Amino acid sequence: MILIVDDNQSNLYSLQKLLESKDFQVDTADSGEVALGKALKNDYALIILDVQMPDMDGFEVAETLADYSKTKEVPIIFLSAVNTDKKFITRGYASGAKDYVTKPVDPEILLLKVKTFYNLQEQNVAMKKTQQNLELEVKGRRESQVTMKSQIDHFHLMLESLPQIAFTLNDQGIVDFVNGKWYQYSDSEQNFPETHPDDPVILEEFERCRKRGKALELEIRIKNVGSEDYRYHLLRVTPVYDEGRIKNWVGTFTDIDGQKKAEKEKDEFLSIASHELKTPLTSIKAYVQLLDRKLKLDKDSSEAGFVTKVQGQIEKLNTLITDLLDVSKIENGKLKINKKPVNLENVISNAIETILQTHDENKVKIGRHGVKPDILIPLDEIRIEQVLINFLTNAIKYSPHNNQVIVTTFVDEEAQEVRVSVTDFGIGIPDFKQAAVFRKFYRVEESSLQFQGMGIGLFICSEIIKQHHGNVGVSSILGEGSTFYFTLPLN
Ligand code: ADP
């Protein structure tokens, strides 16, 4: 908008009309005081100022405008009929005018000057705005840089206070921060700790995970720089995401050497104890059988009932000890699998038969669904039957209010595998605990008091299936039931 200041109303009017005819927005003031008031309140791109006015003349107005930061940049064109001599013109420029037009005004000249100043001022304003925005952005960036730096410092401080070895890597997998504990196992920030010759190389394992964008978790022995001893550590490296892409990685080494040693001692103890228990138990079993035959007890007598009970308990004890022995065999890599082509359907019916014989028929109903796999598959018959008996026993054990169990088979020609599943309608397993049930000695806490067990049956099953190059798994809904399954490759 342009402000025209003139005490002469007809001049004001004619100039206003002239500028408005060229689409300029125009405001007017008929005195210096009014002009100052308006200039401080509104934003003008240009002021056309009559020099000769009563009370406050044009020079005074221009000088006052130059004192205010809001108005000091606004260009001024002086209009004057009289002050045309050099002295006045000089004063006009000194008081802040950008140009000088003498009366009578040549409309074409005035319009040309107005257009030029108007455009210049508009560009000026636009440039200032851009500059202001830029300054704001620079300020914002500087502030966020400062915040980010303090966040990183805070994060590093946190890593420093951890009892573990902690480090970070950039998106290229290069170590860019290590805490003090790192140096107990490495002599430089760039080098990962040296691993035991029998353990995997950290860098190779990490690169594999980095390429797939997956976290790394590894139990590994690393060498202490001072003592040169290898200690077991749990290495975890996790990706940190920023807007969907990996920004960097955070890693820790947790010392689990004590835990590993205790585990090893426990395994050794279990192995010795189960071996030592097995021998007398086998004798007890044989003598009870002998006693049973010698005594020739009446089948309905209470004594015969006691002998049967003793034999039942011996059988339970035998299963427990055999399971413990299996665990130690697995630990020592000695669980042998003798594969030969076997009809899987026979194995399944044998397992079902065994379960029905050892359970009250009124309490258990086993349904058989799916296409029966009448094919020969290379497998260890005894071990696969053991897996099935384990699944079926669990299905019955963990379904105290339902006696229905279903065994389903499915041959997947495309994947070249057969899938056997055992479904029950029992207590079910919470979602986040399902994967853990195949771990050694794991029992679901909520049901562990109500049902007896050692938490090793499923661990043995998963090892047996692993050695057959198959998979085990479970899907379950709490309170509705579970389906445990395993797959076996057809060849
Ligand atoms: P155990 O039954 O001796 O505890 P397992 O290794 O056979 O040991 O099973 C591990 C755990 O998995 C069990 O303690 C139980 O909590 C859970 N589980 C196994 N089978 C079932 C099932 N069919 N329904 C519900 N929970 C089950």
Q: What is the pLDDT of residues 278-294, one digit of tens each?
A: 999 999 999 999 999 99
CATH code: domain of residue 301? 1.10.287.130
Q: Give the position, in ligand 1's atom list, of the atom nearest the Cα of 399.
A: 24
325 and 344, same domain (yes or no): no
244 and 378, same domain (yes or no): no
Residue 307 lies in a domain: yes
Q: Give the position, in ligand 1's atom list, of the atom nearest the Cα of 446.
A: 16
Tokens of residue 285, six digits: 């079993």
Which residue, judged by its Cα, is nearest atom 8 of ligand 1?
Answer: 455
- Tell me the percentage of the chain whose pLDDT exceeds 70: 97
277 and 404, same domain (yes or no): no
286 and 244, same domain (yes or no): no
Residue 146 lies in a domain: no
CATH code: domain of residue 103? 3.40.50.2300
pLDDT of residue 73: 86
pLDDT of residue 103: 80
419 against 373, higher pLDDT:
419
pLDDT of residue 198: 94
Ligand 1 close to Cβ of residue 457 (< 6 A):
yes
- Whether 476 shows a pLDDT value over 70: the answer reads yes
Ligand 1 close to Cβ of residue 482 (< 6 A):
yes
Residue 121: band (very low, low, confident or very high) from pLDDT cuts 50, 70, 90 = confident
Q: Which of 327, 406, 437 has most ligand 1 atoms within 8 Å of its beta carbon, as the pocket-test mutant?
A: 437
Choosing from 255, 278, 305, the residue where a domain stops is 255
Choosing from 331, 348, 369, the residue where a domain stops is 331
Ligand 1 close to Cβ of residue 460 (< 6 A):
no
Ligand 1 close to Cβ of residue 394 (< 6 A):
yes
Residue 151 lies in a domain: no
pLDDT tens per residue, range 210-219: 999 999 999 9
pLDDT of residue 120: 86
Ligand 1 close to Cβ of residue 437 (< 6 A):
yes
What separation in Å is there between the alpha carbon of 14 and the centre of ligand 1? 100
One-letter identity of residue 49: L
Residue 174: band (very low, low, confident or very high) from pLDDT cuts 50, 70, 90 = very high
318 and 386, same domain (yes or no): no
Q: What is the mean pLDDT of residues 367-383?
A: 93
25 and 116, same domain (yes or no): yes
Residue 448 lies in a domain: yes
245 and 180, same domain (yes or no): yes
Averaged pLDDT score across all residues of the chain: 92
Tokens of residue 476, six digits: 């379950």
CATH code: domain of residue 467? 3.30.565.10
251 and 264, same domain (yes or no): no
What separation in Å is there between the alpha carbon of 450 and the centre of ligand 1? 12
183 and 318, same domain (yes or no): no
Which residue, judged by its Cα, is nearest atom 13 of ligand 1?
Answer: 443
237 and 351, same domain (yes or no): no
Residue 136 lies in a domain: no
187 and 247, same domain (yes or no): yes
Ligand 1 close to Cβ of residue 44 (< 6 A):
no
Q: What is the CA radius of gyration of the chain?
A: 46
pLDDT tens per residue, range 13-29: 999 999 999 999 999 99
What separation in Å is there between the alpha carbon of 430 and the centre of ligand 1? 12
Residue 265 lies in a domain: yes
CB of 221 within 8 A of CB of 199? yes
Q: Give the position, in ligand 1's atom list, of the atom nearest the Cα of 438.
A: 6
244 and 277, same domain (yes or no): no
Choosing from 128, 153, 178, the residue where a domain stops is 128
Q: Give the position, in ligand 1's atom list, of the atom nearest the Cα of 481.
A: 24
CATH code: domain of residue 231? 3.30.450.20
Q: Up-side HSE of residue 461: CA atoms within 13 Å toward CB?
A: 27
pLDDT of residue 83: 53
Q: What is the mean pLDDT of residues 344-367?
A: 92
CB of 342 within 8 A of CB of 379? yes
- In degrees and rounded to multiples of 5, residue 244 shows phi and psi of 85, -10
Q: What is the mean pLDDT of residues 313-320?
A: 92
Residue 104: band (very low, low, confident or very high) from pLDDT cuts 50, 70, 90 = confident
Residue 85: band (very low, low, confident or very high) from pLDDT cuts 50, 70, 90 = low
Q: What is the mean pLDDT of residues 245-260?
A: 95
Domain count for the chain, please give it: 4
Residue 193 lies in a domain: yes
Which one of 38-52, 93-107, 216-230 scores highest in mean pLDDT?
A: 216-230
Residue 155 lies in a domain: no
What separation in Å is there between the alpha carbon of 397 and the centre of ligand 1? 9
pLDDT of residue 373: 87
Q: By residue range, what is the domain housing residue 415?
A: 340-489
Could you please report the per-residue DSSP string of 52-65?
Answer: --SSS-HHHHHHHH
What separation in Å is there between the alpha carbon of 342 and the centre of ligand 1? 28
pLDDT tens per residue, range 396-433: 999 999 989 999 999 998 989 999 999 999 999 999 99
What separation in Å is there between the alpha carbon of 486 and the centre of ligand 1? 15
